[in-house]
Amino acid sequence: MFQHRCKNISVLFLLIFLFTALLPLPLQAVELPLTAESAILVDAHSGKILYEKEPQKKLYPASMTKLMTLALAMEAIEAGKVKMDDVVVVSENAASYMGSHIFLAPGEELTLYELLLGIALASGNDAAVAVAEYISGTHEAFVDLMNKKAKELGMKGTHFVNCNGLHDPNHYTTAYDFALLARYALKYPQLLEICSIKHYRIRTETKRPFQYDNKNKLLWFYPGTDGFKTGWTEDAKYCFVGTCKKDNLRLISVVMGVPVPQGHFSETKTLFNYGFSQFTFKEFYQENEIIGEIYVGEGKKDKVDVIPDGKVGIILPRGEDQNITTEIELVPLVNAPVNKGDVVGHISIVKNGEILSRVNLLVKEDVAKGSLWQMMKKVFKGVVTM
């Protein structure tokens, strides 16, 4: 009896071993030589984590904080609350911020665009406060906005005390949270454009000319890099949230707590090298690309174009991008009125019968309900055609 029970247990353990041996290894089956206290590498399209090291560890973000400041400025511009060419009058409070700064003077006037460049390139603490005050009235109100946005984005390990990253024990975040923020920031192409500028001069016609030099050195020596933001304080050490695109694959990287100068760049390169060497992005349709059309009943138009809700594609390990197809399912008819963005189907990415990803298909434009006269004309046209 005892021998029979032991034999069954042995067989059970053998089956468990064989089953687990056949399971695919996690994406982070590799150990990278990183000294960062925390790091993460993410596919920007899907948010899929490709590598992580203590990604939820709460650390000080230093000037990486300014990515949130930039993102909220872009949000305000998109909402029409402010414009790039608005003239901002610098307050005495904003001008008082030192450390990394662009030497703002009380009462000085710069455009919002010049101040945003001062944040993105020169990492100006004073510029960040000037923008915060212009958008929200006070620095404190803007910080409240930062924390509200962090909550909306699911940045559960984050709390902001200021808009520029000057050290405070209660000002902290995680690498995972900043990857979420970076994905959100990519919604604004102009933010990426600003972050990728290497040099910019202001006050050129005054006695106080100044040149911004982008602190993101990967712009010079890692092709495809176009964002985002560096950071350093004695407590935070060296930090960097970056993004890089090669072919159709865009990666987001965050490293925090790197102990040596320039280490945040070399370790970001290590993450990017790993990501681009091991993964590829197979794209089928671009955002806003017309995939098909559907009939509209009782509308001013008989048909309406259909587009995907974002880019249609998938990240895969290199060499595993074969035998992948798409399957489209659309409703045959919708009755007017039809609103732009209405979901009328979906497109699935399929491999060997398994659905790997699914994207909604949307109506490209509004179609109003047709008038009685238009309906009669359609009926008459149909009769004549018959």
pLDDT (0 to 100) of residue 373? 53
- And the tokens for 132? 């915060």
Catalytic residue among 38, 63, 91, 357: 63
Residue with tokens 């964002």: 227
Residue with tokens 């320039």: 262
Burial of 347 (0-12, 13-18, 19+ CB in 10 A): buried
Cβ(174)–Cβ(59) below 8 Å: yes
Distance CA 374, CA 378 (A): 6
Confidence tier at 10 by pLDDT (50, 70, 90)? very low
- And the tokens for 235? 């407590």
Distance CA 188, CA 201 (A): 23
- Number of C-beta neighbours around residue 6 at 10 A: 10
pLDDT of 48 above 80: yes
For 300-319, b/e burial (b = at least 16 CB within 10 A) is: ebeebbbbbeebbbbbbeee
pLDDT (0 to 100) of residue 383? 41
Catalytic residue among 38, 53, 66, 237: 66
Cβ(375)–Cβ(298) below 8 Å: yes
Annotated active-site residue 46? The verdict is no
82-101 residue pLDDT tens? 999 999 999 999 999 999 99
pLDDT of 29 above 80: no
- Number of C-beta neighbours around residue 274 at 10 A: 18
Backbone angles phi, psi at 8, to 5 degrees: -65, -40
pLDDT (0 to 100) of residue 7? 42
Residues 6 or more apart from 366 whose CB is under 8 A from it? 337, 338, 339, 340
Catalytic residue among 38, 91, 100, 123: 123
Confidence tier at 321 by pLDDT (50, 70, 90)? confident
Annotated active-site residue 66? The verdict is yes
231-283 residue pLDDT tens? 999 999 999 999 999 999 999 999 999 999 999 999 999 999 999 999 999 99
Confidence tier at 4 by pLDDT (50, 70, 90)? very low
DSSP state of 263: H
User: For the whole model, what pTM was predicted?
Assistant: 0.87
Annotated active-site residue 63? The verdict is yes
Distance spanning both ends of the chain, measured CA to CA: 85
Cβ(307)–Cβ(364) below 8 Å: yes
Residue 332: asked if its preceding bond is cis (omega within 30°), the reply is: no
- And the tokens for 152? 């909306």
Distance CA 153, CA 96 (A): 31
pLDDT of 187 above 70: yes
Residue with tokens 């924390």: 147
Domains delineated in the chain: 38-281 (3.40.710.10), 286-385 (2.60.410.10)
- And the tokens for 10? 């042995």
Of these ranges, 4-13, 190-199, 287-296, 327-336, the one predicted with the greatest mean pLDDT is 190-199
pLDDT (0 to 100) of residue 151? 98
Cβ(167)–Cβ(236) below 8 Å: yes
